[in-house]
Chains A and B, each alone.
Chain A
Amino acid sequence: MNNPQETRRVWPEKLFYGLCLSAVIIPLGILVLLLGKVGMDGVARIDWGFITHYPSRLPARAGILPAMVGSIYLIGLTALIAVPVGIGAAIYLQEYGKNSRWADMIELNIANLAGVPSIIYGLLGLGFFVRTLGMGRSLLAGACTLALLILPVIIMSAREALRTVPDRTREAAYGLGATQWQVVRQVVLPVAMPGMMTGSILAISRAIGETAPLIVVGALTYLTFLPNSPFSAFSALPIQIYNWVSRPQEAFVTNAASGIIVLLVIMLVMNSLAILLRNRLERRLK
């Protein structure tokens, strides 16, 4: 039986519950709104011409080819640089660094680097890669910059993967008279590899959407050729989108939305690849 005291208590509780639930629903709703708006605005514009044309002063003729190709080259180079170094660093910290004070310092350092704004990595790229090393405003400079940006994330996720390998697996290998590298390479890495690959792919997929560091390093917004070497000038999808969004004409806004759809599709494909890969490799271990 609901006595008055209970009823007085139930309503504030329901209200509180509703408030908390809305706090989850509202942001998700806004996300749906955002994606819906982008989709509605941009989907019609996507056709073969859009994908294969170069940028143009006329929005109807403008395309994202150099930007898309630039982005693909960019993340390919970035992955080539960042993944081996990141995994190497994670192996060092997790397997070799236990005793060392240096390793503690490196760990703290990586946590700090993860919190540095991405545009500052751009300035590092500009000062060091573009100017000091003389790479110029090239694909290579952009890739090195992005690699440094995502390195902390790759290292942290690779370490997590290494941490999931139970110590008794390592013990068994040491007990058989294996050296440390033999233990790491033949026993630990095979078990940790799916997680490390997944983490790396997710990190790279974030790199595709990065704009600020590339602007500082000097990605171009109007490119009439495709990059043909690591030292050539380049463009990238987010850069092109930024350029279009900054133009007042309505039609360019549509182009920007279409560019965003292409970008999100590429990211979605990469993320799904990461998850599929992890599931496949994990199943092989069971």
Chain B
Amino acid sequence: MSENPAEVPAPLPVKFRVENLRAGFGDNEVLHGIDMVVPDRGVTAIIGPSGCGKSTLIRCLNRMHELVPSAFVSGSVHLEDTDIYAGAVDPVLLRRRVGMVFQKPNPFPSMSIRENVLAGLKLTGSLDKSTADEIMERALNHAALWDEVKDRLDDRGTGLSGGQQQRLCIARSLAVSPDVLLMDEPCSALDPIATARIEDLIHQLKEHYTIVIVTHNMQQAARASDKTAFLLMGELVEMTETKTLFTSPSDRRTEDYITGKFG
């Protein structure tokens, strides 16, 4: 069988290459050597039962895992060409390229909506007064929140509904122009309508951003993602196109999980 170079499809650009990632807290190792590739752009979902290490994995991608005093991590994670765990890399700078949205919406309580959106720039000292309003409007538009808050930008960020607060947090993350957006169960604290709006938003964002979303809701993963990774007890069992994983998974354990035999 000859391989004509012209026929082999060019490999999709890769955003993250995770190699032999081990991580945990104290004496407890949570991830046992993960090898994973996250493609550029599009939505990658990470699913698995509680305690399988999904949150730990995603927090290793922006080095937030190590903020916990007892945390340890080994292995490598390449963001394009650079190993983010290399000594010369500053995690603070990393986090300006890899943003995160958390499970419980956490707008800053001492700030207005406007200040919240611009917080990322102000915190890091890169706020330019002349472009601030423009950046804020663009971020709020990208987060599908502009129309709802444009008349009350100086109100408290904490005065919004849960779904609105989460979109505010997304706008806040987008305002610093990251290329990756990590989302750790972003809808689990929201009602179904707010959840649907966020899923629509993810669909719009995936054109320009690489999105990695951790979810315990399999239907959400099936609806919203392009590729899905199934994590079980700290091991990556299977990762493939979402449609394939949910209709004809290759591993018995994946099949058991998605058919509800455990989880």
Chain A positions within 8 Å of B, measured between CB atoms, are: 98-99, 166, 168-169, 171-179, 182-183, 186-187, 190-191, 285-286
Contacts and interface: CB of A to CB of B under 8 A. Distances in A.
B108 A187 contact: yes
A173 B67 CA distance: 12
Contacts of B102: 168, 171-172, 175
Q: Which of A169, A177, A182, A186 has the most chain B CB atoms closer than 10 A to its own CB?
A: A177
Q: Which of A174, A187, A286 has the most chain B CB atoms closer than 10 A to its own CB?
A: A174
Given A99-B69, A186-B122, A186-B123, A177 B106 contact: no
Contact of B173 (A176, A179, A286): A176
Q: Which of A168, A172, A175 has the most chain B CB atoms closer than 10 A to its own CB?
A: A175
Given A172-B172, A285-B110, 14 more contacts: A99-B69, A171-B102, A172-B102, A172-B106, A175-B95, A175-B99, A175-B101, A175-B102, A175-B173, A176-B99, A177-B93, A178-B120, A186-B122, A191-B109
B229 interface: no
A201 to B, nearest CB: 21
A172 to B, nearest CB: 4
B123 A175 contact: no
Interface in B55-78: 62, 64, 67, 69
B57 to A, nearest CB: 16
B92 A178 contact: yes
Contacts of B92: 177-179
Contacts of B62: 175
Interface in B69-127: 69, 92-97, 99-102, 104, 106-110, 119-120, 122-125
B144 interface: no
Contacts of A177: 92-97, 99, 120, 123-124, 176
A166 to B, nearest CB: 8
A173 B123 contact: yes
A173 B110 CA distance: 13
A176 B108 CA distance: 12
Nearest to B178: A177
A186 B124 CA distance: 10
Interface residues of B, number: 31
Q: Which of B96, B106, B119, B125 has the most chain A CB atoms closer than 10 A to its own CB?
A: B106
B138 interface: no
Nearest to B119: A176
B106 A182 contact: no
B17 to A, nearest CB: 22
A120 B157 CA distance: 50
Contacts of A285: 109-110
A168 B93 CA distance: 20
A285 B158 CA distance: 10
Given A173-B123, A175-B95, A286-B156, A190 B67 contact: no
Nearest to B97: A177
Contacts of B124: 176-179, 182
11 contacts: A168-B104, A176-B99, A176-B124, A176-B172, A177-B93, A177-B176, A178-B120, A179-B92, A179-B124, A182-B123, A187-B119
Q: Which of A172, A173, A186 has the most chain B CB atoms closer than 10 A to its own CB?
A: A172
A176 B139 CA distance: 14
A284 to B, nearest CB: 8
B89 to A, nearest CB: 13
Interface in B194-225: none
Contact of B95 (A98, A166, A174): A174
CB-CB nearest 10 A-B residue pairs? A177-B96, A176-B120, A177-B95, A175-B100, A178-B123, A190-B110, A168-B106, A172-B106, A182-B123, A98-B69
Nearest to B99: A175
Given A177-B93, A178-B92, A285-B109, A172 B169 contact: yes
A176 B118 CA distance: 11
A282 B67 CA distance: 29
Contact of A174 (B64, B97, B109): B64
Given A171-B64, A175-B173, A285-B109, A183 B123 contact: yes
A168 B109 CA distance: 11
B95 A176 contact: yes
Nearest to A98: B69
